[in-house]
Structure 1
Amino acid sequence: MSESIYPSVKDLTLEEKASLTSGGDAWHLQGVEAKGIPGYMITDGPHGLRKSLASSTGETDLDDSVPATCFPPAAGLSSSWNPELIHKVGEAMAEECIQEKVAVILGPGVNIKRNPLGGRCFEYWSEDPYLAGHEAVGIVEGVQSKGVGTSLKHFAANNQETDRLRVDARISQRALREIYFPAFEHIVKTAQPWTIMCSYNRINGVHSAQNHWLLTDVLRDEWGFEGIVMSDWGADHDRVASLNAGLNLEMPPSYTDDQIVYAARDGRVAPAQLDRMAQGMIDLIDKTRAAMSADGYRFDVDAHDEVAHQAAIESIVMLKNDDAILPLNAGPTANPSATPQKIAVIGEFARTPRYQGGGSSHITPTKMTSFLDTLAERGIKADFAPGFTLDLEPADPALESEAVETAKNADVVLMFLGLPEAAESEGFDRDTLDMPAKQITLLEQVAASNKNVVVVLSNGSVVSVAPWAENAKGILESWLLGQSGGPALADVIFGQVSPSGKLAQSIPLDINDDPSMTNWPGEEGHVDYGEGVFVGYRYYDTYGKAVDYPFGYGLSYATFEIVDVTAVKTGANTATVTATVTNTSDVDAAETVQVYVAPGKADVARPKHELKGFTKVFLKAGGSKTVTIDLDERAFAYWSEKYNDWHVEAGEYAIEVGVSSRDIADTVAVALDGDGKTQPLTEWSTYGEWEVDPFGAKIVAAVAAAGEAGELPKLPDNAMMRMFLNSMPINSLPTLLGEGGKKIAQFMVDEYAKLSK
């Protein structure tokens, strides 16, 4: 960054410093005009720029915005498993911000999909924190590479919309560290987002905006965050407490700068703290200065649409392809030696696509091409019937009859089904995984008249598939594909490209199988995250719970083989994994190699395995490539509440390499040294804890030897009593052994004091 042209905080008055810590209006930072510091615009945009037409007046309007490229929301983009592609999306978003003079785009959102009913699941990436962080970092790096800021959100634990403005998320330290923090942590340490947006909710009793532990102790002191923290809109309930906690910017303004001024004068805000918060705002404005000074810049609408097109292609997940019903043979790409298929297209989504979610991320696209439009443009003939309306109203018998008649004479029926916009949005959670009943009924009617049905889904989060899957030979999960979803679907359906998407979220057989359901969505103002670290596949796979489609799953028109899997220890607690993947078909396609780490014996309950690496590989037909994935120490660690730190236990770990969490091609082992962490032993440590401690093990051996020599009482040696003994603090030995137990406990404490000096 070039030398700043703006004054430093030491050159500002107290009132000017205070003003910098609040917005100028709903969409602008508050500059200091007298000192030449501008108040740049910030606005929504997790999957594209949403600059409200009312932005210039400072008002909020979620419906009318300037045209911008609508990329697939995170629900779709996450299924690409392609960080490089996601980086290109970020670059394109930044270029549109530069044209529209937007200094910071508010996204990406990386909250974990704790429950598939979450109303904002369409805007978040995954149930897995590793995948969420390693994909969303591409948006941050891509945007900021062009000189525009991002706002990583919503920090932290915004995992539901129900009561989101005040709900108290009660979460263990371990679950926070292993599930709800890592995506944020990875992006902070890798890409340094210029801003982070705090969430509305409370975490363990404290609102995020007032949470010093969250915003300062963890974010800044532990992770080294260098940017500014802003509130979600209306999340700051106490200007003074928030500023002291580490909140740089209140949005939108509450016009209470005088509260900060008074607090600074009477000592409730330390001068150094106000200076830090205000200087952060000056630094942010300075970082974006060059991009905001690019007058006359215009982005390439067609080029950005092509990025959206490629992103949409890679977002599509093929769930089912019985009898190789896909790809279809029709249109310009049809096989001339085969008879072209007669196609029926059923479902209003084919004509009126649902391409994004509702709420603050709603975009006005630069283009919009439906699937039917694409067929017309490509000269592919198809008969169409809407079949249903895009609302939650009852079925229309006339539309149903028309659809069934249209389907009867077709070789293949493409049925476009999904969730209407009214079914999921920011602001409320869903109450069912099911699609509207009228759509399922129509599918059953159509399937009764034509067995060759392919269902194309449009939905922002998981829907139940099992209840109706027998009525379809093929199923494409297309999520919400942005403005180029129509062409992308045509490319996949007619075989111009093989589907390569992989699920970023498990699809359960029943919503009540989800581990969070016993605590969803909470009660009396709080929600207990009782499932702990067992979220999504970490629960399903650990406890052998059947699912409809597992995490990481996705079919292809090609076939692949993964062989020659190795894992080599590269440090005390690190390893490198290699594998060779081969395209064994005659179709060019991409496959995603996934690496899961499975712990051996552990002191705490751990998931069966966890994703710790992946790479997407495009291979020509018959092609082969050797891939390498490095596993750092964190790949093997869990958060120990005993040590209040990450902990790697010594021992053997299984390295699983495959194409989903339940499709593992090969498993190899690596033995690690462990980090050697120990906790001081006391009389309150159990006998079992003494046995596994380096010093304690020597003392336990000495106790046994002294017992054999008659110098101390002998400990019980039958299995049941040993199990009982191992769970007892040693100060309880007198309960079991009387005076002899007291002697043993004292001997152990005395010997430990000598050894641990």
Structure 2
Amino acid sequence: MNDSIKAVCMPAASATAASFDRDLIRKMGEAIGDSCQHEKLSVVLGPAVNIKRSPLCGRNFEYFSEDPYLAGEMSAAYINGVQSRNVGTSIKHFAANNQEHRRMSSSSNADERTLREIYFPAFETSVKKAQPWTVMCSYNRINGVYASENPWLLTDVLRKEWGFEGYVMSDWGAVSNRVAGVAAGLDLEMPSSGGINDARIVEAVRSGKLDEKLVDQAVERILTINFRYLENAKPETPWDMEAQHLLSADIAADCMVLLKNEGILPLSQDEEAAFIGEFAVKPRFQGGGSSHINCFKTTSALEAAEGKKVTYARGYGVAEDAATDEMIAEAVAAAKKAKVAVVFAGLPDAYESEGYDRSHMRMPDCQNRLIEAVAEVNPNTVVVLHNGSPVEMPWIGKVKAVLEGYLGGQAVGLATVRVLYGEVNPSGHLPETFPVKLSDNPSYLFYGGEGNEADYREGVFVGYRYYDKKEMDVLFPFGHGLSYTTFAYSNLRLNASNGIPLPPRLP
């Protein structure tokens, strides 16, 4: 992956969902579609729309939301953007792939109401509003049956109920039984089996175990999409990576969520600020695994702040996951001299990635210790977070402001500085709940499952549906997001009409 072509890393889905902006994500999709036309790439392997059942899922950074409606609207906008350039998409991972632990064998066990109300709608909305060229089935089993050979999932629901017209491909290595897959509606196996499974299909047809018409149908679906691209290929499409870098910054800025602000933001150009933390010079801006982008450039916050009154202290080391006494002392000294201390913190790559789940919701101890030390000597402490999913914030009462940047793409540093200094008014909203602690999450007792069985015992009470029903305090609720604008209402007047009595006048 690191040897792939140089490209532009746009903000991850965890960030773009926070925009709640269909037009913005469509614009991003159009830019990605242009890039694909230039590179002769026919299908983008995304978007990923699995619901954020738990903050622990290692791939949450790649998913939009805990809310099916928001996930579906963001996904459809992205698909429409990409496919407006005659490049296909592959919505994934269909379905109920909400953990990385034992993802190749685990069975997601949920009742039909839960599947249809929580885990299916983002796919359904995308199919009905955008018709993705392809759908990628997931690794896992659903109520005991592998997604790759599940006729109810791939044919009855996807095609007959929702009207999907493209082809279904497997996730990489997700095929358990190729013949059963063809019969169920799985058209394309990825990657190739080197002819092994092809021979099994031929044998099944010859022996009468598989109807040849189903094989012809799969071939027709695949070729239809292939020719759709080839007949509209435009390899001469220009790819201005510098322009897309700036677009990435614009998108990232509009996705940032101001979680807390006690009057300290925006920062003044005339006052000295200390940028503290390795993420200020080496930002975490994308997730780990198959979605990794080989970026042609990055812009850090320290680079973007050039010309401003900013000093820097490393504070902690990501590689060693530690903050030495010397690092802490340097950070404290910088914080003491500055009017405002801005700590750049969050989750390192090793804490969340495709292939495994998180075991807790904490940030690295060294970063928490750094924030506490800085806040102790500078009451004007701001924390900027780079993470793909919720974190606990034991220091929340000791800092003046918190800006959630999520994984904002390669230009996240530029976007962050624009927001910190008021060039952009933060307008993002959380696409997921930040619980006070991990054990508050509704799936806490049984997330990950036992053996190869993952029971969705919380049913439809996922995310804010659970917290609202339980009347439970959370750190930050779904939809939360502040701005620098102040609002005031005055001189309100009501006129009686249609004989409807007005309420008593308020004092």
TM-score range, shorter chain: over 0.9
- Structure 2 distance, partners of 1:212, 1:537, is 32
Secondary structure at 1:476's aligned position in 2? strand
Who is 1:753 aligned against?
A: none
Q: Structure 1 residue 316: deviation in Å?
A: 0.5
- Structure 1 distance, partners of 2:314, 2:134, is 44
TM-score by length of 1: 0.64
Work out whether 1:289 is the aligned partner of 2:233. Answer: no
- Structure 1 distance, partners of 2:153, 2:57, is 23
Paired residues of 1:170 and 1:205 also in contact (CA < 8 A): yes
- 272, 279, 289: which is aligned to 1:342? 272
Paired residues of 1:320 and 1:475 also in contact (CA < 8 A): yes
Report the RMSD for the aligned CA atoms in angstroms.
Answer: 1.2
- Structure 2 distance, partners of 1:126, 1:387, is 32
**Superposition pairs for residues 152-171 of structure 1, below 5 Å?**
152-171=91-110
Secondary structure at 2:411's aligned position in 1? helix
Paired residues of 2:276 and 2:331 also in contact (CA < 8 A): yes
Amino acid at match of 2:202: V
- Structure 2 distance, partners of 1:503, 1:394, is 29
Paired residues of 2:321 and 2:364 also in contact (CA < 8 A): no
Q: Structure 1 residue 139: deviation in Å?
A: 1.2
Who is 1:123 aligned against?
A: 62
- 285, 303, 307: which is aligned to 1:373? 303
Work out whether 1:470 is the aligned partner of 2:409. Answer: no
Secondary structure at 1:425's aligned position in 2? coil
- Structure 2 distance, partners of 1:316, 1:107, is 22
1:271-322 per-position Cα deviation (integer Å, ceiling 9, x unaligned) = 2211111100110111111343x24332122322222111101110001101
Q: Structure 1 residue 392: deviation in Å?
A: 5.4
Q: Structure 1 residue 180: deviation in Å?
A: 0.1
- Structure 2 distance, partners of 1:152, 1:407, is 46
1:591-613 per-position Cα deviation (integer Å, ceiling 9, x unaligned) = xxxxxxxxxxxxxxxxxxxxxxx
Q: Structure 1 residue 394: deviation in Å?
A: 3.6
Work out whether 1:548 is the aligned partner of 2:475. Answer: yes
Structure 1: gaps (5+ residues) = 1-61, 331-339, 564-757
**Superposition pairs for residues 449-460 of structure 1, below 5 Å?**
449-460=377-388
Secondary structure at 1:506's aligned position in 2? coil
Work out whether 1:95 is the aligned partner of 2:34. Answer: yes
Q: Structure 1 residue 130: deviation in Å?
A: 0.2
1:673-712 per-position Cα deviation (integer Å, ceiling 9, x unaligned) = xxxxxxxxxxxxxxxxxxxxxxxxxxxxxxxxxxxxxxxx
Which has the higher mean CA deviation after the structures are superposed, 357-366 or 384-393?
384-393
Paired residues of 2:301 and 2:412 also in contact (CA < 8 A): yes
- 465, 474, 477: which is aligned to 1:538? 465
Secondary structure at 2:445's aligned position in 1? helix
Paired residues of 1:392 and 1:436 also in contact (CA < 8 A): no
- Structure 1 distance, partners of 2:466, 2:87, is 39
Who is 2:409 aligned against?
A: 482
- Structure 2 distance, partners of 1:428, 1:561, is 47
**Superposition pairs for residues 49-68 of structure 1, below 5 Å?**
62-68=1-7
- 337, 340, 352: which is aligned to 1:409? 337
**Superposition pairs for residues 132-171 of structure 1, below 5 Å?**
132-171=71-110
Q: Structure 1 residue 63: deviation in Å?
A: 2.0
- Structure 1 residue ranges (4+ consecutive) displaced by more than 4 angstroms after TM superposition: 560-563
- Structure 2 distance, partners of 1:391, 1:207, is 38
Structure 2: gaps (5+ residues) = 491-507
Who is 1:396 aligned against?
A: 324
Work out whether 1:225 is the aligned partner of 2:172. Answer: no
Paired residues of 1:391 and 1:422 also in contact (CA < 8 A): no
Work out whether 1:355 is the aligned partner of 2:285. Answer: yes
Who is 1:320 aligned against?
A: 260
Q: Structure 1 residue 168: deviation in Å?
A: 0.6
Who is 2:178 aligned against?
A: 239
1:303-351 per-position Cα deviation (integer Å, ceiling 9, x unaligned) = 22222111101110001101x1000111xxxxxxxxx211111000000
Who is 2:503 aligned against?
A: none
Secondary structure at 1:519's aligned position in 2? coil
- Structure 2 distance, partners of 1:242, 1:432, is 36
Who is 1:270 aligned against?
A: 211
Q: Structure 1 residue 391: deviation in Å?
A: 3.3
Percent sequence identity is 50
- Structure with more relative contact order (C-alpha pairs < 8 Å, separation 6 or more): 2
Q: Structure 1 residue 560: deviation in Å?
A: 4.3
Q: Structure 1 residue 449: deviation in Å?
A: 1.1
- Structure 2 distance, partners of 1:490, 1:295, is 36
The structure-2 alpha-carbon separation of the partners of 1:560 and 1:262, relative to structure 1 and needing over 3 Å to count, comes to: farther
* Equivalent residues, number: 488
1:183-221 per-position Cα deviation (integer Å, ceiling 9, x unaligned) = 000000111100000000000000000101000010001
- Structure 2 distance, partners of 1:291, 1:118, is 38
Amino acid at match of 1:452: N
